[in-house]
Amino acid sequence: MIKIITTKTEWEAALRDVEGYDFYHSYDYHHISKTEGEEPILLSYNSQNSVILLPLLLRRIFDSDYYDATSVYGYAGPVGLLIAESFDMAKFHLDLNTYFSENNIIAVFSRLNPYIANQEDMLQGVGEVRTIGNVVNIDLTKTLEEQRSAYRRDTRSRVNKARRLCSVRQANGQEDIESFIEIYTETMKKLEADESYFFDKEYFFNFLKCDGFETDILLAVHNETGDVTAGSMFVKTNDIVQYHLSGTRPDYMKIAPSRLLLDEMRIRATDEGYHYFNLGGGYKSQEDALFNFKSSFSDDIRPFKVWTCIANLEKYKEFTALSKVEANTDFFPAYRG
């Protein structure tokens, strides 16, 4: 039977019972990420001393009595603790489909996490899992020297130059945080990024108040001018570090301070005992200039997968027809394309 969890206390307690999770699974991240009309829920399935959790954002479809669900931006998907070898996965799938049917949920989408085991196994047979791109990981279980040896030559050179010209400090206090916000926003404007990449100041300060994970903002400060040249936000949960948001002042692009911040975080995270440092992928999962930048730090490339499930095909087709979207759209669900 599927249980729905919506309170912070119960949500966090459920996460503590599984083998591993990322900050994208947390109650806090779901609540600062949700948009108008989205309700964060955690589906919980318990059987034979095993548990599977699936966090989602539930939303009404137009003005109808039907719903669909999506994941927060980032790397979510199911997490679990599978103790019994005889665990009946088919029963979980049956109960999941029953929950969707009884609650008028016609489609579900989730981005999966490349660093959490068994996600695809948990979903096999319900909907479809497909690879849409790649992400870059720095293996923090290797020595610092082994990690650095995977850097491309130009990245090693640019990191060395940035270290000579800049110092790194962790953001401390409102002035530092506002400097990071300003640099990040300026960078997104310069890149003409989608609206979804822009956040108000309240978002950043609320993010830093979240107690379900640890957030570090590192700043690269020019040694001569004292200017903050770049800033990066990193989020740490269990054994994973995520490269979350970053920006560089245009006047300092040539000295590549953002590369210095990545290098500094991998050193700190290794010393602190983390295992994975996810740099992410390219813009909209493409192998573009952003992906090339990230892959210059490591050759540990991992597939980024998504899960799509049409729980009610008849209604899905009906809403798609009403929305008048092109039949060959890659967007899911199609009627929101």
pLDDT at 327 over 60: no
Task: Give the separation between CA 255 and CA 124, rounded to whole angstroms.
Answer: 46
pLDDT at 46 over 90: yes
pLDDT at 42 over 70: yes
Contact status, residue 307 vs residue 110, Cβ threshold 8 Å: yes
115 & 11 share domain: yes
Q: Report the CATH number that the domain containing residue 241 is assigned in CATH.
A: 3.40.630.30
* Percent of the chain residues topping a pLDDT of 70: 99
Q: Is residue 255 part of a domain?
A: yes
Q: Is residue 223 part of a domain?
A: yes
Residue from 331, 332, 336, 337 nearest 310 by CA: 332
258 & 329 share domain: no
162 & 240 share domain: yes
Q: Which domain holds residue 227?
A: 141-274
The region of weakest confidence among 109-113, 131-135, 271-275, 319-323 is: 319-323
pLDDT in the model for residue 186: 96
* Residue length of the chain: 337
pLDDT at 84 over 80: no
pLDDT band of 37, cuts 50, 70, 90: very high
Strands (E), 61-191: 67-70, 79-81, 105-111, 128-139, 166-170
Q: Is residue 280 part of a domain?
A: no
Q: Which residues pair with 311 in a beta bridge?
A: none
Pairing of strands 214-222, 166-170: antiparallel
Tens of pLDDT, residue by residue over 303-314, are: 999 999 999 999
Tens of pLDDT, residue by residue over 271-280, are: 999 999 999 9
44 & 145 share domain: no
Task: Give the separation between CA 337 and CA 332, rounded to whole angstroms.
Answer: 7
**pTM higher than 0.85:** yes
151 & 270 share domain: yes
19 & 131 share domain: yes
pLDDT band of 4, cuts 50, 70, 90: very high
Contact status, residue 183 vs residue 247, Cβ threshold 8 Å: yes
The residue from 274, 293, 312 where one domain ends is 274
pLDDT at 285 over 80: no
Looking at per-residue confidence, does 177 or 330 come out higher? Answer: 177
pLDDT in the model for residue 25: 98
Q: Is residue 37 part of a domain?
A: yes
CA dihedral of residues 123, 128, 132, 135 (deg, nearest 10): 10
Contact status, residue 146 vs residue 213, Cβ threshold 8 Å: no
Q: Is residue 293 part of a domain?
A: no
Q: Is residue 203 part of a domain?
A: yes
Q: How confident is the prediction for the chain on average, in pLDDT?
A: 95
163 & 259 share domain: yes
Contact status, residue 249 vs residue 232, Cβ threshold 8 Å: no
pLDDT at 255 over 90: yes
Tens of pLDDT, residue by residue over 200-243, are: 999 999 999 999 899 999 999 999 999 999 999 999 999 999 99
pLDDT in the model for residue 282: 86
Q: Per-residue DSSP letters for 53-87?
A: EEEEEEEE-TTSS-EEEEPPSSSB--EEE---TT-
The region of weakest confidence among 97-106, 194-203, 237-246 is: 194-203
Residue from 39, 40, 35, 38 nearest 24 by CA: 40
Q: Is residue 215 part of a domain?
A: yes
Helix (H, G, I), strand (E, B) or coil at 134: strand
120 & 169 share domain: no
What is the Cα 165 distance to its own chain's centre? 32
266 & 146 share domain: yes
For residues 160-176, give the mean pLDDT. Answer: 96
Helix (H) or strand (E) holding 196: none
148 & 257 share domain: yes
For residues 107-135, give the mean pLDDT. Answer: 95
Task: Give the separation between CA 233 and CA 219, rounded to whole angstroms.
Answer: 9
pLDDT in the model for residue 86: 80
Helix (H, G, I), strand (E, B) or coil at 221: strand
Pairing of strands 105-111, 300-310: antiparallel
117 & 163 share domain: no
For residues 178-198, give the mean pLDDT. Answer: 94
131 & 177 share domain: no
Q: Is residue 217 part of a domain?
A: yes
pLDDT at 328 over 70: no
Q: How many domains does the chain have?
A: 2
Residue 66 CB coordination number (10 Å): 17
- Residue 106, phi then psi, degrees to nearest 5: -100, -20
For residues 164-168, give the mean pLDDT. Answer: 98
